[in-house]
Amino acid sequence: MATATASSASEPEVEPQARPEAEGEEDEAKPAGVGRKVLSSAETAKAKGPEREVHQEGVSESDGDEEDAAMASSAESSAGEDEWEYDEEEEKNQLEIERLEEQLSINGYDYNCHVGLIRLLRLEGELNKVRMARQKMSEIFPLTEELWLEWLHDEISMAVDGLDRERVYELFERAVKDYICPNIWLEYGQYSVGGIGQKGGLEKVRSVFERALSSVGLHMTKGLAIWEAYREFESAIVEAARLERVHSLFRRQLAIPLYEMEATFAEYEEWSEEPIPESVLQSYQKALGQLEKYKPYEEALLQAEAPRLAEYQAYIDFEMKVGDPARIQLIFERALVENCLVPDLWIRYSQYLDRQLKVKDLVLSVHSRAVRNCPWTVALWSRYLLAMERHGLDHQMISATFENALSAGFIQATDYVEIWQVYLDYLRRRVDFRQDSSKELEELRSMFTRALEYLQQEVEERFSESGDPSCLIMQSWARVEARLCNNMQKARELWDSIMTRGNAKYANMWLEYYNLERAHGDTQHCRKALHRAVQCTSDYPEHVCEVLLTMERTEGTLEDWDLAIQKTETRLARVNEQRMKAAEKEAALVQQEEEKAEQRKKVRAEKKALKKKKTRGADKRKAGEDDDERECGEEEEEQPSKRRRMENSLASGVASAKEEETKLSGKCLTIDVAPPSKQKEKAASLKRDMPKVAHDSSKDSVTVFVSNLPYSIEEPEVKLRPLFEACGEVVQIRPIFSNRGDFRGYCYVEFKEEKSAQQALDLDRKNVEGRPMFVSPCVDKSKNPDFKGLAYVEYENESQASQAVLKMDGMTIKENVIKVAISNPPQRKVPEKPEVRTAPGAPMVPRQMYGARGKGRTQLSLLPRALQRQGAAPQAENGPAPGLAATTSVATEAPKMSNADFAKLLLRK
C-alpha cells in the first residue's frame, strides 16, 4: 500500500485516471447492496447490448424480438429486487447514522459512537460527512494508528493537485502528534517522495525523514524500516555530492542499538568503496554492547501479550536509571500506544517532563494528549492547568482548558472540588492584593461564587452529595478575604454559612474559625466563636472548653472567667449524661441480641436432639446391626452429659458433622470437646509452649518496633503482614505474648532490606482496629544508652492530657522530635464471672460501647480515667469504656494500675 501510494504520488499526471479504479476496488470490498449504485432496467439492457448482439447471429427477427422481451423482463425483475434490497439496507444505515448523531449531540465523549458513525458514513460514500465526523472525533480524542492510516489513505486517493497535497501534509502532521506511530512516519516519508518535483520538495523529504528518525529512529524493532527507507531515497539520487549523505546515514544508524544491525554493517561494508573508519567501528561495537543490555526487555515485550503494562514499566525503570532523555521519551511513547487509557502512566510521563526536560512544546503536548485519552482523571487536568501556568500561557487558554475539564465527566464528586481548587488557586496568584480593587480580584470573587453554585447545583444533582462536606472552597475564600483583603466581615459571613451546613458539631471547624479570628479579628469575636463552639461541639467538647478557659485566663475579666466556667461545666455535664444514656441504650440492644441468639441456639439444639433420636431408632431397627454399633449406641445413651457438653461447645457444628459422617460409614467415633474456658486455657498453653526467639540486635537496621496495638488481635502476624509488605519483603513478624498466652500489644517486624524498614516508619500512627499504631526504629538500648527513651506523664483530668497532646506532639527536645499520645494501660483482670455468651454463634458483648462521638471506633475517648474507675466500668481490652457502669447492678472496683506498672508490662520481655 505504501509503495503504491508513493509511486502514484510521484506521477501526478496519472492520479486522475487511478482514482476511479481505487474507488471501484473499495466498492468491491463493501457488502452487497451497500453504497453501490443501482442500475435501472434500461441501463442494464444497454450494458448488456454488445453481448446480446453476439448471440443474435443466425436467429430470426421474431425470435430476436421474443428474446429481447424476455431479457428486458428479466432485467427489470433483477433490478427491482436489487433496488429493494439496497433501499432496505440504506434505510437501516441512515436510521443508525441518525441515532449515532443524536447520541453524540448528547454526549460528545462517547468514543464508540464516533467510531461507528465514521464506519457507516464511509460505507455510504458520504465523503464530506466522513471528513466532518473524523475532524470532530480528532478534536476530542486522539486517533489510533489504524484510524489515521484509513483517513490518510482516503485523502491521498482523492488528492489531485498541489493544494490537496498540502492538506494531506497537514493531516500527516496532526497524525504523528497523537501517538508514536512508526508506520505513519514511514507513510509520511514515502508520500513526501512523490512531491519531490515541486518547489522545495527535496528539502521537504529530508525534513520528514529526519523528524521521523528523531521520533522513532531509536525504536529497537521498528526503527530499522525508517533508516532503510531514508537510505534508499538518498541512494536513488545519483549525484556525487549525495554519497556523503548516505555515508552519514550508515554511520548514524550503526551507532544506535537496533535489531539486525549486523546485516546493516555488512551492507555498509559492501556498499562503501573505502575502508570503514575506526571511529565508526568503535561506535558500532559500543552499540552492539548496548543492544545486549536492551534485548531482555525487548524480548519480554515480544513474548508478552498486549497491553504488556508490566513489561513496559520494567523497561521504563531501566531507561530512567540509564538517564538518556531521548530513549526515556521513546519508551514512554511506546508504552502509551498500548496503554493509552492508564492514567498513572500519563501522570508518570508528564511528571518526568515537568521536572526534567521542561521543554514547553513537548510538555504541553503530552499534557494535552493525556487529558484527551483519560478525560475522566482529575489529576491529569490539574497537572495540565499547572503546566500551562508554569509556561506562561494566555489566561484565555487556561480558562478554556478549565471549562473543558468541567465538562469531561469526572468519576466522583470530590474530583470537581479538586479541579475548582486548582483553578481558584491560579486566579488568586494573578491578583495584586496591594490594590484595593482590580479586575483580577473581581474575577476571583465571581469564580468563588460560581464554584459554590456549581457544586450545589451540578454536582449534588449528579452524585446526590456535595463533594465538599467540609466546605473547603468556602474556607479558602474566607482566608483570602481575611488575610489578603482585610475583609473580616466577609470572612465571618462565609464561616457562618460553613457552620450552618452541618459543620457546627466538629471541634476542628470551630478551632479553625477561632484561629482566623485570633490572627485577623478581635478578642470579642474570638470569645463569641468559642462560646458558640462550647454549645455546639459534640465530638471533642473538652477541647473547645479548654481553649475558652485558656483565653479567659490570659485575657478575660473575672466576669468573663466566671461565665466561661459556668458554661463549660454545664456543657460537659450534659455531654456526660448523653454518653451514659447512649451506653445504656447500646447495652440494652446488646442484651436483646443475646437473648435472641440464646433462643435460636435452644431451638437448634432441640431440632438436633430430635434428629439424632430418630437416627438412633432407625439404626436399631436395621437388621444385621453388629455389636460395635449397639455398644456405641448404648454408650451414647449412658453419657448424655458428654453429648450436651459437645453441643454447647464452640466446635459443636464440626463434631456433629463428623458424627454423621461416621454413622454413614458404619463406624462409631466418640468426640469429647472441652468447654470454651478449657479451650482458652489450651490456647494459652499452646502459646506458652511456643519457642521464644530472642531479638537479634545485629538486625536492628532492618527491623522496626511496633507498639500500641490492640490487645484483642487474635493473630497479629496475619493482621500486620499485609500492611508492612507494602513497604518491602518481610522476613519475620515476631509478636510478643505474656506467660498466659495473651498478646501484649507490640511486636518486631524484620525486613529483608534496610530501605524497607525506613519506609515502614511512614506507617507510624496508622489506624489499626481503632488505635494508632506506633512504628519506631529498633534500637538496642544497651549499645545506645543515649537513645530517646519512654516516659509517662499522668494528668489530673483528660482535658489537660488532651492539651498536652496538642501542644507537645512533634516538639523538638535536644535535637529529638518527641511523639506524645494518650495512653491507657489495661487494668488487672477482675475475678472471673460466668460467661455471658454461651451460644457458639452468638456475638460477644462489646466491652467498649462507644468512642468519642457516640459509636465512633476510630476516635480517642476523652473521658478521664478517674471517672471511669468510679463506676468500675468494664474496660476495653486496650482502652476505656465508661458507658457500661450504668448497666452493672453491683459494681466491684478493679485494682488500679499505675503508669509505672504499665511501663513494666510494656518493657518486660
One DSSP character per residue, 497-513 reads: HHIIIIITT-HHHHHHH
Instruction: Inform me whether the pLDDT recorded for 863 exceeds 80.
Output: no
pLDDT at 360 over 80: yes
| Average pLDDT over all residues of the chain | 75
Q: What is the mean pLDDT of residues 698-704?
A: 87
Would you place residue 9 in the very low, low, confident or very high pLDDT band (cuts 50, 70, 90)?
A: very low
Lowest mean pLDDT among 7-21, 551-565, 787-801: 7-21
User: Please, which pLDDT band fits residue 522 given cuts at 50, 70 and 90?
Assistant: very high
Would you tell me how many other CB atoms lie within 10 Å of the CB of residue 122?
Answer: 20
User: With 90 as the cut, is the pLDDT of residue 388 above it?
Assistant: yes
pLDDT of residue 789: 64
The better pLDDT of the pair 838, 790 is held by: 790
Span 720-726, average pLDDT = 89
3-state secondary structure 193-257: HCCCCCCCHHHHHHHHHHHHHHHHCCCCCCHHHHHHHHHHHHHHCCCHHHHHHHHHHHHHHHCCC
Which residue stretches of 339-377 are H helix?
343-352, 360-373
Q: Lowest-pLDDT range, 45-54, 139-148, 220-229, 723-732?
A: 45-54
Q: Is the pLDDT of residue 561 over 90?
A: yes
Q: What share of the chain is helix, strand, coil (3-state, %, to 5)?
A: 65, 5, 30
Which of 242-256, 478-492, 611-625 comes out lowest in average pLDDT? 611-625
pLDDT for 507 equals 94
- In this predicted structure, the answer to whether residue 145 has a pLDDT above a threshold of 90 is no
Say whether pLDDT at 258 is over 80: yes
pLDDT digits (tens, 9 = 90+) for 599-610: 999 898 888 888
Among 500-504, 695-699, 725-729, the least confident range: 695-699
Name the band, by pLDDT with cuts 50, 70 and 90, for residue 85: low
The per-residue pLDDT for range 322-352, each reduced to its tens digit, is: 989 999 999 999 999 999 999 999 999 999 9
Dist. CA 868–CA 802, nearest whole Å = 17
Residue 543, SS3 per DSSP: helix
Q: Residues, the chain, total?
A: 909
Report the pLDDT value the prediction gives residue 780, as an integer from 0 to 100.
66
| pLDDT tens-digit readout, 395-449 | 999 999 999 999 998 999 999 999 999 999 999 999 999 888 899 999 999 999 9
Q: What is the mean pLDDT of residues 864-888?
A: 38
Residue 106 has pLDDT above 90, yes or no: no
Looking at the predicted structure, is the pLDDT value of residue 312 above 70?
yes
Out of 339-348, 522-531, 831-840, pick the least confident.
Answer: 831-840
Mean pLDDT computed over 826-831: 44
Out of 218-232, 356-370, 843-857, least confident range: 843-857
Residue 297 has pLDDT above 70, yes or no: yes
The H-assigned helical ranges of 407-506 are 413-430, 439-454, 460-463, 472-479, 488-498
DSSP 691: P
Check residue 814 and give its pLDDT. 65
Yes or no: say if 859 and 539 are a contact pair by the CB < 8 Å rule: yes
Q: DSSP 3-state assignment of 767?
A: strand
More reliable by pLDDT, 651 or 821: 821
Q: What does the pLDDT look like over 630-652, one tens digit per residue?
A: 443 443 444 444 444 444 443 34
Peptide bond into 843 cis (omega under 30): no
Residue 567: pLDDT above 80? yes
The pLDDT score that the predictor gives to residue 806 is: 65
Q: What is the pLDDT of residue 766?
A: 86
Residue pair 227/249 in contact by the 8 Å Cβ criterion: yes
Q: From the CB of residue 500, how many other CB atoms can be counted at a distance below 10 Å? A: 9
Q: How far is CA 771 from CA 693, 736, 823, 878, in A?
A: 27, 18, 11, 9
How confident is the model over 591-601, as a mean pLDDT?
91
Q: What percent of the chain has pLDDT over 70?
A: 69
Least confident interval from 175-189, 379-393, 842-856: 842-856
Strand partners, 737: 743
Closest CA to 151 of 181, 196, 184: 184
Mean pLDDT of 175-197: 84
Which pLDDT does position 405 carry in this prediction? 95
User: Mapped to the 3 state alphabet, what secondary structure does 820-851 carry?
Assistant: CCCCCCCCCCCCCCCCCCCCCCCCCCCCCCCC
Give percent of the chain above pLDDT 90.
Answer: 36
Phi-psi region of 810 (alpha: psi -120 to 50; beta: other; left: phi over 0): left
CA distance 508 to 491: 17
Between residues 134 and 650, the one the model is more confident about: 134
pLDDT of residue 41: 33
- What's the grid cell of residue 379? 489529576
Q: Is the C-alpha dihedral spanning 390, 395, 396, 398 positive or negative? A: positive
The CB density around residue 214, as the number of other CB atoms within 10 Å, is 12
pLDDT for the residue 658: 39
Q: Which of 517, 508, 500 is nearest to 537 (CA)?
A: 508
Question: 159-168, pLDDT tens digit by residue?
Answer: 767 788 888 8
* Per-residue model confidence as pLDDT tens digits over 200-240: 878 888 888 888 888 888 887 888 888 888 888 877 775 64
> Does the pLDDT value for residue 802 go beyond 50?
yes
Q: What is the mean pLDDT of residues 88-117?
A: 86
**Average pLDDT for residues 875-883, to the nearest whole number?**
38
Of residues 371 and 152, more confidently modeled: 371
Kindly indicate the confidence band of residue 17, based on its pLDDT and cuts at 50, 70 and 90.
very low
Cα-based angle 386, 389, 393 (whole degrees, multiple of 5) = 135
Tell me the average pLDDT across 273-294: 90
CA distances from 44 to 50, 63, 80, 85, 764 (A): 12, 21, 11, 17, 87
pLDDT > 80? residue 43: no
Closest CA to 336 of 358, 316, 364, 362: 316
* pLDDT at residue 64 tops 50: no
What pLDDT does residue 282 have?
Answer: 92
Name all contacts of 176-180 with Cβ < 8 Å and 24+ positions apart. Answer: 176/211, 176/215, 177/365, 177/369, 178/142, 178/143, 178/148, 178/369, 179/142, 179/144, 179/145, 179/333, 179/336, 179/337, 179/340, 180/215, 180/216, 180/219, 180/330, 180/333, 180/334, 180/336, 180/337
* Ordered DSSP codes for 692-724: PPPP-GGGGGGEEEEE---TT-S-HHHHHHHHH
Q: Classify 586 as helix, strand or coil.
A: helix
First to last CA, the chain: 79
